Amino acid sequence: MKQTFTLLLLVMLFSYQASAQKALLLQTFEQAEFSEASVFAEGNFYLNQGAYFEAFNFATRANHIVDKPPGQFIQKGKTLGAVGSSVLFSNGANDVLHIADMKASRPLQALLQSEQIVTGKDYTYLLYRDLNGEGTKIISVDSRTFTPQKAFITRGTADVHLAYFEKENLLYFVHRTADNTVALYASDGSYERTKLVTNLSEEVGSGSLLSSFFANGEDLYLINFYYQGADYKNRTSHVYKVSDGVTDLGTFPYFSTSDGSNYLKQGAFYGYDNSTQSIVKSTENGLLPLLSDVSSVTFVGDYKNKLVFTVRDEWDEQVDTALVKLYETDGTPAGTKLIADKVAPPSYDNQDQNVIAHRGKLYFFRKDETHGPELWQYDGQSATLLQDVIPGQDGMMYPLFYEHEDELYFTARLTASQKTLRLYKFSDSASTFQLQSYVDSNGNQIKDADEPLLTNVKYKLAGDALTVLPSEGSSTITLEDGSYTLVASPASGWVPVNGEQKYTVSLPADDTKVYSFGFTPTQPTTKVDASLMSEFSRCGFPTSYTLHYSNTGFTSTTGTIKLKPEATFSYESASPAPTEVSGDTLIWQIKHLPIGQKGRIIINFTMPGVEHMGDTLTSSLYTRFSSDVNSSTHTDTTTLQQILTCSYDPNDIQANPAGLGEKHLTLKNRPLEYLIRFQNMGTDKAFNIVVKNELQPEFDISTFKVIGSSHDMYTVVKGNQLSFHFDNIQLPDDKVDEPGSHGYILYSIKPKSDLADSTLLNNQAFIYFDYNPAIETNVAFNTLVTRLPAPESVLAVGDALEAEEMKVYPNPAEDAIHVAWPAAHQPQTAYQLLNAKGQQVQQLHVRSGTVHQIDVSALPPGLYFLKAVKANKTFARKIIIR
């Protein structure tokens, strides 16, 4: 299934105080298997997800799903590679070459088997077997026009190896023409200018000749590996410089044939000596050991005139992989020094990008006992933790670094969930500033101590087309350094004290600055908004309801809030307690509520039993408030509709009104309230929680308003994408503090006014606890109509028995129960059998007959509830099974 992925719009969700440098989260990819290769292509990133790519564009911050032929096990460098800003890939059968961009994929070339893909500046080169019987072929694909052309053909199956050398913008490749000979070619991408450079023959004693390329930035080198003699022990490495003409650099014994295990610097050859298990350097006097007792080496490259490399470290049980040690050497044993141990290895499909030099520093991931695997840097003197990206001992592994337009990007997998892949941009600097709006009662454009903050003010940062909505009147946000135009848009009825207030935010110069906006009302009227929401409504269980109220008017006010709960509820308690209880109505007196002030009341009820499962629960709120300074008043009535369920998911979304019937029919002209609930069911506190909520275009985003939340948070609006940020919430887990482990957001929004009848509105949320994978909620839906039909009756147990004479026997039962209906009624019936906890244990659909048998022989003894739906009416009956 296609996964929805998340975008955090560069609003920082984390902070590391010791440094201004930060990793800014761009994208989260869920269900990213290790077998699913990824590739950077100029300003784009592509992740293979089987039947589609998940793709991300750096410039637009846009997400894309690109359908493609299925191919789960695409391998980078063999069947996947970048071409310009697009990607080349072969299908699952590896017999057709395709190309994909941010919009679509298409077939490009028939082939038999892709062997190697190498990306160059002007062309991407593909080595494959040809379907037309021409043998092994190299084609070049233009990185601008994506036109393929042949560059080389050799008859039959051939041993060919490719390497692109950026300095000369040429493709080099070797073709083994005999057991002891390779032909070296160079090509600019065209068939006409693919030329034989030379033939290289070696004194091969046993086996065949193996060849490998490596580069040090200045030159490209070829190594021919072969055995002298017949015992497979006397291995020789013959090294040639092949760029700018071929130069024989001599032979060296016992060196490893692994990619990345050889390097040449200032005329000296570095490699791994298998016979002594040492990293060695060639000198006039033979091989000089630099580091002993190591099992392998990968050379990273030059850094500050020293050679950097990694060797295998110990196996780490926590991250379930072997870490590596990072070294540097000046070419002497004394000058070979450890930079850092416990460094994260490269990603599975990229074996040379776990350490990178960028703007004068080395970057890598290192694991320590306090922070787990996190982002570190080395400046040539010492290695230091740059940022604790994932708070706590969890972290990230298998990094892949990538430079684009002098900016550094990287991907890494979460140690807590290695199927979660994250894409970051590294920022040398990011800054923080504060936003607030207030009631400027005296018009002096200064926030005085007695002037309240305003909530539900939208702050628009035009430079990033970003909207921020704080929940408590002020908010602190972090952005990349740059220039932003900041404008505050209050709720209707408020105006700036002195015309439009606009600021130019220049970061980092304005780091830590507070931007304040003063507003006054257009008229001193009274308005109080009230709304009701609840925890999970489970059959027969105690349930807490929260009544939110807020002075959204323009004067302080005094009044009453009345709650008439659903008739089947049993009232238990409230905090604060109601001022008065009149029959079935709870009444609170609210005195002198200041402008912008919010409050909430917790009411505890016991839900009706299982026999009411599926009923619509309706509770009503009535408010009446009068101004403390003038004669204005405000009255309002709102209702909360819910469907009673007998099981629950602690992370869900609910719509109010729930709507009538199976289609959840809802009047077009009324606003919808959405309640998103979450619970920390992990093993530790949740420090940062983000809730992502993408709205359909049928919603009028200008009417979006946050009503309440369980904790302080701020909202980011980008088009129709909402994200709710609970920074440093420290939400306890349910094992430590079950009541405190819950949180929620409650907001309202209106549909657009010109929608057709039967328009379907779906809404789903994605909840992120720290850096764990997203938890997907259910989908709340409403069908919009101009008029509601007359409500259909839903019969309770007693009514059902009187009206329809539904007979169940025997009761108690052992092996089966029978349900009998009057002959005049239609036979089609849907049955559900529920246990005492309200969990469905059996269901049955019957299309004929008036007596229906239900097998209960496999069920354990106990109390059960039988629910039957016939002709849009619901019936229920208690059943005992012995």
Question: pLDDT tens digits, residue range 667-725?
Answer: 998 899 999 999 988 767 787 888 999 999 999 998 998 888 888 888 888 888 898 98
Which residue spans of the chain are classified as CATH 2.60.40.740? 649-785
Query: For position 602, what pLDDT does the model report?
Result: 92
Q: How many whole angstroms separate alpha carbon 753 and alpha carbon 762?
A: 17
Q: How many whole angstroms separate alpha carbon 546 and alpha carbon 602?
A: 5
Give the predicted TM-score (pTM) of the model.
0.54
Find the helix or strand (DSSP H, E) in which 800 lies: helix 797-804
Of the spans 214-218, 241-245, 431-435, which averages the highest pLDDT?
Answer: 241-245
Residue 740 backbone dihedrals phi, psi, to 5 degrees = -85, 0
Q: How many whole angstroms separate alpha carbon 862 and alpha carbon 882?
A: 7
pLDDT above 90 (res 20): no
Which residue spans of the chain are classified as CATH 2.60.40.10? 430-521, 797-881
b/e map 250-281, b = 16+ CB within 10 Å: ebbebbbeeebbbbbbeeebbbbbbeeebbbb
Say whether 782 sits in a helix, a strand or coil: strand
Q: Per CATH, is 649-785 categorized as 3.40.50.2300?
A: no
Query: For position 59, what pLDDT does the model report?
Result: 86
Structure confidence by residue, pLDDT tens digits, 202-237: 887 766 788 889 888 889 999 988 876 555 456 788
- Dihedral-angle region of residue 424 (phi above 0 means left; psi in -120 to 50 means alpha; beta otherwise): beta
Q: Report the pLDDT averaged over residues 245-253.
A: 88
pLDDT above 50 (res 165): yes
Structure confidence by residue, pLDDT tens digits, 476-491: 676 778 888 888 888 7
Structure confidence by residue, pLDDT tens digits, 147-161: 999 999 887 666 788
Query: For position 1, what pLDDT does the model report?
Result: 32
pLDDT above 50 (res 14): no
Structure confidence by residue, pLDDT tens digits, 723-750: 898 887 888 888 888 878 889 998 999 9
Residue 572 backbone dihedrals phi, psi, to 5 degrees = -115, -55
In DSSP terms, 343 is beta-bridged to 324, 366
- Dihedral-angle region of residue 52 (phi above 0 means left; psi in -120 to 50 means alpha; beta otherwise): beta
pLDDT above 70 (res 308): yes
Task: Specify the CATH superfamily of domain 797-881.
Answer: Immunoglobulins (2.60.40.10)
What share of the chain has pLDDT > 90, as a percent?
31
- Nearest alpha carbon to residue 216 among 239, 196, 237: 239
Structure confidence by residue, pLDDT tens digits, 781-840: 999 999 887 544 333 333 333 344 678 888 778 888 888 888 766 667 888 887 765 667
Q: Which distant-in-sequence residues (6+ apart) come within 8 Å of 60 by Cβ?
A: none
Task: Specify the CATH superfamily of domain 430-521.
Answer: Immunoglobulins (2.60.40.10)
Query: For position 229, what pLDDT does the model report?
Result: 59
Residue with tokens 């460094």: 343
Query: For position 10, what pLDDT does the model report?
Result: 32
Q: How many whole angstroms separate alpha carbon 695 and alpha carbon 761?
A: 9
Least confident range of 67-76, 161-170, 598-607, 760-769: 67-76
Query: For position 494, what pLDDT does the model report?
Result: 86
pLDDT above 70 (res 34): no
Say whether 449 sits in a helix, a strand or coil: coil
Q: Report the pLDDT averaged over residues 540-563.
A: 90
Residue 799 backbone dihedrals phi, psi, to 5 degrees = -60, -40
- The string of DSSP codes covering 467-524 is EEEESSSEEEEEEESEEEEEEEE--TTEEEBTB--EEEEEETTTTT-EEEEEEEESS-
Neighbours of 697 (CB within 10 A): 9
Residues 844, 847, 848, CA angle at the centre, nearest 5°?
120
Q: Say which residue, 290 or 639, is predicted with more confidence.
A: 290
Query: For position 826, what pLDDT does the model report?
Result: 66
Q: How many whole angstroms separate alpha carbon 659 and alpha carbon 795?
A: 19
Structure confidence by residue, pLDDT tens digits, 95-142: 888 999 999 999 998 887 888 999 999 999 999 887 666 778 999 999
pLDDT band of 335, cuts 50, 70, 90: very high
Structure confidence by residue, pLDDT tens digits, 358-387: 989 999 999 888 888 888 999 999 999 987
Say whether 626 sits in a helix, a strand or coil: strand
**Mean pLDDT of the chain, nearest integer:** 83
Query: For position 646, what pLDDT does the model report?
Result: 63
Query: For position 329, what pLDDT does the model report?
Result: 97
